[in-house]
Structure 1
Amino acid sequence: MKNFFESVFNKFSKWISPALLATILAALISGFILFVPPIHGLADNGDFYRSILSNGIYRLPTSYSQYSDYVIPKFGIMQYFNENNISVLSSQTIFIQLALFLNKLFYSKTIFTIQFMGLIYYLFYLGGIYLLTNAFVHPFRKIRNYFLSLLIVFIFADSAYTLYFNSFFAEPGMFVLMLYICASIISLARNVYAKRWPMITVFFVSTVLLITNKQQNAPLALSFSVVALGVMFLPHFKAKRLATALGIVIVLMAGIGIYKSIGSEIVGANTFQTFSHGTLLETGDPTKKIERGGVDGQFALMRNENYYSKDYATLDPSSPYVKKHLMEKTGFAWIIKYYATNLKQFNNLLDLAAKDITAVQPRAVGDFVRNSGHKPREQVKYFTLYSSLVGAFFPGKYAFDCLLAVGFIAVYSVGLYLDFKSDRYMGILRFFLILGLMTIVVFVPIVSIVGDGDADLAKHLFLIPISLNMALLIFVSDLINHTLWNTKGDKADV
């Protein structure tokens, strides 16, 4: 019997590599939910307008609300001059324009179907899954490598991630680009490809696109610059170190550029929501606290209110009165000073963020199309076991996240030391990748709370679960391949 199974496995592994297996499974699992009618995706919570109007897409008139309850499968394509300026600079436009091109080529020049948006992300996603799996398992086709490929599918084919593809949110682009970023660094570390420059190019292009995908991603330029430092340690690389240094400068400039592109209206919205969803939360009587900061206590009535309010607002956030007496007084310096004198409140907000880390699948919007027999805002349960398990058992404490980050950094600092001492580079690249991922885990919650309070907090923290999952995969891969602290077998000769 043992010989029979070995024979079957040998024949299977001859034709299907671990990377190909992961790609096929991810294609089947995600393709079913995205493209088999009735399709699934994410409904609009009001954020779509920022990306669709500037790209010549508009809502078709309906007799029902197009927000939150159900996925809207069809949109209109503008036929004349588009008077809407680009309100938000974003690399997401590249993905949308590719989807528009395919839609006009194969479907319609007047009606846009959301499935073409899903198709673009789907194709890039499958490429990322293949590169990532190949980076982890190269060059072996042993049982443990097939196990690792199944683990990658279990984690990254989870519908909590792939549902985003059929939407106009920025998150699917971030998810896909993170796959390419990590796959390129791991490929370089494990010497998967004979030439290094293609993976280095993939890393820097993907990084710039991710940072410019969303304006809240600007601080990530620092995290990915840390990751890029590892590339400088590649051997026989002197001629290209200058190009790598230039790449790091471009990454930092991308962060600065996307931050500078934030319009005054968005700055005002963030400032207001930092106050209403941050400083006014997690405290019994905020009136006295804000008065000590020089802000009129009456503004405490604006707790939990949004800048773009769908219901009645206590005061119009965009009114001259609010701008003069609140917005001009509660800038970045005021927020920092407030939290510095209210550390317990700040810690409570960080714990709130820690609880939202596992909320990858948005709960406030539906995942089904209208007339599919499902209730408004009903959530998909198909292939969500991993995200459900993490949501149920992962501790919602910021201190735990920090300890976990310190643990990963400490473990991989040993590999850094040993490889640096032995003139190897796998442990060095791997350490800087882990360090960059852990800076995302530790600092993104702080930036999110200071920058926008708890408004849309789960979406602001989207990269944290991806970073933790990627670190977990690296750790498991090193355990089963016995390369956690001994990378001798992976030393390159070229």
Structure 2
Amino acid sequence: MQITLKRSLTRSYDWFARHISPAQLAVILAAVIVGWLLFIPPIHGYADNGDFYRVMYSSGLYHRLGHTYNHNNFVVQTYGIMQYYNEHRATIFSSQPLFVMPAIWLNRLLYSKTIFDIRFLGFVYYVFYLGGLYLLTEALTYPAKRARNYLIAIAVVFVFADSSLTLYFNSLFAEPVMLITMLYSFSAFLLLARQRYRRRWPMILVFFVSTILLITVKQQNAPLALSFVIMELGLLALVKVRRGRLYVFLGALVLLGSGVVTYTLINKEFSDINGYQTMTRGVLLKSKNPEKALTEGGIDGQFALFKGRTYYQSYMPIALGSDYVMKNLIGKYDFTWVLKHYLQHPDEFGEMLDLTAKDGQLVQVRAVGDYVQAAGKPKQAQTHYFTLYSLMMEAFFPRKFAFYILFTFVLILVYAFSAYQGFKQHQPELIMRFCFVVAAMTMILGVMVVSIVGDGDADLAKHLFMVAVTTDLLVLLLGTDIINHRLWQVYDDKR
């Protein structure tokens, strides 16, 4: 009887493996899990914390007249669509409208020309997300000939179908674009490294388009261009002719250029807001003697009264937009001034970096609600549907910046040995994988430092979104390499 049961299970698995690959399994599971969250009433998403206007008005959307607009408390499901001339210009340079506008066109075609349902935007993100999840699972499991690769597919769903990430789809935040493009960028690069497809150019195109969209979706992402250049230079391991190397270097210049353009187009208003909070929620926040910290840097010590305040806080001692504040405070320092201060006060810098480490894996936005008002939930209520992974990372991942340094050192050391083997054995995959790990670790540490130096601890969890996503990719890469015995060598189906 046991033999019969074993044969029956074997036949069932063989049939399943012939018809459904690990990547297809991941897409099916994620489609059901995420689709239920986003599209089945009462829907879920993220409420507006005040950032939505950055893309709302420039995309031709507005708060519907006669309908309560609940900042922070509840998800707003419908918006009005402007019918005539839109006088609003884009407040920031961003690639996000490339996703928002198709959602509005689809809404006009299938639903209404005057009312926009946020689910259409969620659907656009949903479709691209499932494509990215397919490529990610394919990249991690190829060649998919072992039963354990189905466990890897389930692990991918467990990590990236977590609601703390997918709730962003039903919102006007830019984070969905960051998540989706990072999935495509990493997956395309790893598929190239593992030479999954005979034709390389489609994956090369996917890599560059997704990376540029990621760099340009938010102005704080401009420094990420440097990390992606490190990653892109790994393509040199694939090319064997001089012309190919030239294309790789030209690609690096394109990525750098996208970062430079994104940085130079930062709106002065947002630059001033971030600059103010860099001082009040950064430099002054942990300073033992804020007056002295200011006067040593050539700034009037009376501005120490702003310690701990955000730009939008009520009842300020002086109008923040006044010429006096601009000339005597914000105009007196820049990124270099702040970085120099932190280097001269390493204890304060360390405390601030520990704040980033504490919030590094905190993905779910705590300050806003996840439900529409019709759901009957309290204001700012949070859903815990399919959030086990994010809750585990938040609870158990070490909250010290020193651990991230140690994590970086160990991971780079492990994959450096792998890259050495790649040079010896002429295996591009091992070299390219090392380039990704180095780029990812510089991304994680760089985002932490830039967030503190560029905006203090204001809205820190959202600023660290890429830290969590990149950490998740590294954890999956390391875990799957160990499971498939390819940590220090290329895949061998005999193992």
TM-score by length of 1: 0.97
- Correspondence for 1:16: 20
Are residue 170 (structure 1) and residue 174 (structure 2) matched? yes
1:406 equivalent in structure 2? 409
Q: CA deviation at 1:481?
A: 1.1
Query: For 1:226-246, what per-residue CA distance to the aligned partner results, in whole angstroms no more than 9, with x for missing partners?
Result: 000111110445543322222
Q: Write out per-residue CA displacement over residues 339-358 of structure 1, whole angstroms, 9 at most, x where no aligned residue.
A: 12211011100000011111
What is the distance in 2 between the residues matched to 1:399 and 1:75?
Answer: 45
SS in 2 for 1:9: helix
Partner residue, 1:160 = 164
Aligned residue for 1:202? 206
Q: 1:15, CA displacement in angstroms?
A: 1.1
Question: Quick one: which of 301, 305, 309 aligns to 1:305?
Answer: 309
Task: Select the residue among 90, 96, 104 that pairs with 2:100.
Answer: 96
1:225 aligns with 2:229: yes
Letter in 2 for 1:207: T
Deviates more, 1:265-274 or 1:165-174: 265-274
Distance 1:337 1:390 in 2: 33
Check if 1:317 corresponds to 2:320.
yes
- Is 1:106 the equivalent of 2:110? yes
- Structure 2 match to 1:397: 400
Quote the offset at 1:50 in angstroms.
0.6
Offset of 1:65 from its aligned partner?
4.6
Normalised TM-score (structure 2): 0.96
Partner of 1:253: 257
Q: Secondary structure at the match of 1:139?
A: coil
1:333 — aligned with what?
Answer: 336
> Is the counterpart of residue 417 in structure 1 residue 420 in structure 2?
yes
Distance 2:288 2:370 in 1: 36
Per-residue CA deviations over 1:81-110 (Å, capped at 9, x if unaligned) read 111111101000100111111011111111
1:375 paired to 2:352: no
Quickly say closer, same or farther: Cα 1:116–1:237, change in 2 above 3 A.
farther
Give a deviation string over 1:210-257, Cα, whole Å, max 9, x none.
000000000000000000011111044554332222211111000000
Change (3 A) 1:62 1:409: farther
What code does the residue aligned with 1:13 have?
A: A
CA deviation after TM superposition for structure 1 residue 308, in Å: 3.0
Q: What is the Cα deviation at residue 478 of structure 1? A: 1.0
The 1-side partners of 2:258 and 2:114 are apart by 34
Distance in 1 of aligned mates of 2:242 and 2:23: 32
Aligned residue for 1:281? 285
The superposition leaves residues 263-316 of structure 1 with CA deviations (integer Å, 9 ceiling, x where unpaired) of 21111111101011101112344223222222222211112222233x222222
State the one-letter code of the partner of 2:428.
Y
Amino acid aligned to 2:74: Y
Q: Alignment partner of 2:485: what SS?
A: coil
Amino acid at match of 1:59: H
**Counterpart for residue 121 of structure 2:** 117
The Cα offsets for residues 426-455 of structure 1, whole Å up to 9 and x where unpaired, read as 101110011111111111111111111111
Shift of 1:318: 0.9
1:52 to 39, 50, 56: 56
Deviation, structure 1 residue 488? 6.4
How far 1:337 sits from its partner (Å)? 2.3
RMSD after superposition: 1.3
Of residues 465, 470, 490 in structure 2, which corresponds to 1:467? 470
Secondary structure of the 1:147 match is helix
Amino acid at match of 2:368: V
Instruction: Provide the rounded CA distance (Å) in 2 between the counterparts of 1:325 and 1:298.
Output: 11
Q: Does the 8 A contact of 2:485 with 2:491 survive in 1?
A: no
**Higher alpha-carbon deviation: 426-435 or 287-296:** 287-296
Question: 2:10, 2:336 → 1: CA distance?
Answer: 65
Question: In 1, Cα distance between the equivalents of 2:174 and 2:54?
Answer: 10
Sequence identity (%): 47
Higher mean displacement: 451-460 or 167-176: 451-460
Contact 2:63 2:69 in 1 (8 A): no
* Contact map agreement 1:69 1:376 (CA 8 A) in 2: yes
Paired position in structure 2 for 1:5: 9
2:150 is matched with 146
What is the aligned length?
A: 489
Note the C-alpha offset of 1:8.
Answer: 1.4
Asked if 1:179 is matched to 2:183, the reply is: yes
Q: 1:433 aligns with which of 436, 450, 456?
A: 436
Distance in structure 2 (CA, Å) of the matches to 1:105 and 1:243:
41
Q: What amino acid maps onto 2:308 in structure 1?
A: N
1:318 aligned partner, one-letter code: G
Residue 399 of structure 1 aligns to a residue whose secondary structure is helix
Secondary structure of the corresponding residue to residue 112 of structure 1: strand
Q: 1:263 aligns with which of 267, 283, 287?
A: 267
Ranges in structure 1 where 5+ consecutive residues have no aligned partner: none
Aligned counterpart, 1:30? 34
Equivalent residue letter for 1:298: Q
Q: Which of 189, 193, 197 is the aligned partner of 2:197?
A: 193
Equivalent in the alignment of 1:358: 361
Distance 1:237 1:48, change over 3 A: farther
Matched residue of 1:337: which SS? helix
Structure 1 residue 329 displacement after superposition: 1.2
8 Å Cα contact 1:405-1:441 kept in structure 2: no
Which residue of the other structure, out of 327, 341, 345, is the alignment partner of 1:342? 345
Cα shift readout 1:30-84 (whole Å, capped 9, x = no counterpart): 0000000000000000000011111111111346452000000010111111111
2: distance between equivalents of 1:340 and 1:254?
29
Amino acid in structure 2 at the alignment position of 1:336: L
The answer to whether the aligner puts 1:76 opposite 2:61 as a matched pair is no
* 1:137 positional shift: 1.2
The structural deviation recorded for 1:328 is 1.4
- Partners of 2:298 and 2:243 lie apart in 1 by 57
Residue number in structure 1 paired with 2:484 = 481
Quick one: distance in 2 between partners of 1:454 and 1:399? 18
What is the rounded CA distance, in whole Å, between the counterparts of 2:328 and 2:89 in structure 1?
30
Aligned-partner Cα distance in 1 for 2:491–2:241 = 20
Residues 166, 3 of structure 1: alpha-carbon distance in 2 compared, 3 angstrom cutoff = same
| Structure 2 residue runs without a partner (length 5+) | none
In 2, are the aligned partners of 1:17 and 1:141 still within 8 Å (CA)? no
